[in-house]
Structure 1
Amino acid sequence: MPENSSKISLPWTEEHTAFCYQHHICPAAKSLWQWLMMQGAIAEELEPDLSEFNATVAKARGKGYSHNYLKQIFDQLVEHRVIQVVKQYSWKIFKLLVRPLEWLKPPRKKREKNLQNHNLSYTSDPSNDKSVVPGDIQQQHSNSDINLETLAEVGIHYDSTEKEVLERPTHEIKLALLMFNLRGGLDKILNPEGFIRRCLRQRWWEFPRNYNLLLKMFGNSTEWDELFPSG
């Protein structure tokens, strides 16, 4: 791949370091993150070659990382949504985006809601706690049933014990299905259950290109509020 001619050195902040500590991102993965930040603009597509990163590692420590370890630290950044893979050309060359730190934080409205709930816990009557918990559990069961049926309707089947997928908010299931259909659906995706699971884990609908496409498709409709209830 041709070397990016417009490499941009972006500052590494204390917030980045705190994120690494919070999510147990290993030092090697942290170094890879820093290197990727210098390969191009944040939130814009770039095509880094991991062998180039390994060459810089070799200069610093005498030898580069093994193929398996390099893949492991790369996957760690993917798992924590630091990077979004758009396309994989080989084991070491990808088209990807490095997400800005703000993307990795909980949405502001969600944080405010959590803070309000936290404050209420100090003022609410403890006797009300027992009445709240069963309702939450009932809501989870309701979501699971709805999600199970929604997925089954399009030919995607999970066991009813698959909590990671089925207990997600219904609007996230709908977003994952939109991503599934945009990628070709059952005609092109051989493992639809795995696709949906990964989509939910990595929240592919937040990927700028996907988000903008959804905005173009649903931005002027009432369905947008259903897909993105928090704004």
Structure 2
Amino acid sequence: MNTNEPIPEIFYVFVDQTNFVTQHNLSVTKSFSSGTVFHWNDLKFIEKYVSGKVDYLPFIINQKKDVNAISAFENSLTSEYRTEYNAEMHRFYNYPHYPSRLSAVYAFGDIETCKKVASKYKWNLSSVKQFKIIDNPLNKVVKVNMEIVSLDRYAQRVSFCDSETIGHIWNSYWNGTGNIQMELPTINGRQVFNSDEIWEYLIEGQIQVIE
């Protein structure tokens, strides 16, 4: 964990059973697994995993790109990935033993948080199911503020962040910081935005439904 708190005994997950893969996993295996679990029998992979050297990125930034100004269309296509790219690069170089957002299972630690998420994002609260983490020495868990990611996604759509700002955002995220502020452009000039706080857990490992 990245905090001094104990790992919850019960996790709460919004389960979208309209998704075939999700429905299959729930009905057949009764569990959800992070991407790394399927490589835990590979000794070479485990060596990289334990040392924090696993490369999770599916795409990398093209450093040889000739056109530096991006169009509105390109920005709409790439803004969310830029958020995840920056999050992963910062994790890799500064918090290499933390779970990767690109592999982890996402869960909440209590039903009250689920209610807040359902109210804010209109997620179906009745789809929430309880899970327990399956013990394994390779498990990794961190508690993070998901609203920092939400704020950065918005920032990537409307602005361009320098390296210092990017570093501040993702240090805050991986450290388990609460609310952060960003000054961003709007049609009425620059304004300060608060991220707010919604706490979630990133889990490298396997969680099993409690029936």
Higher strand share: 2
Higher helix share: 1
In the superposition, the TM-score normalised over structure 2's length comes to: 0.26
In the superposition, the TM-score normalised over structure 1's length comes to: 0.24
Select the structure of larger CA radius of gyration. 1
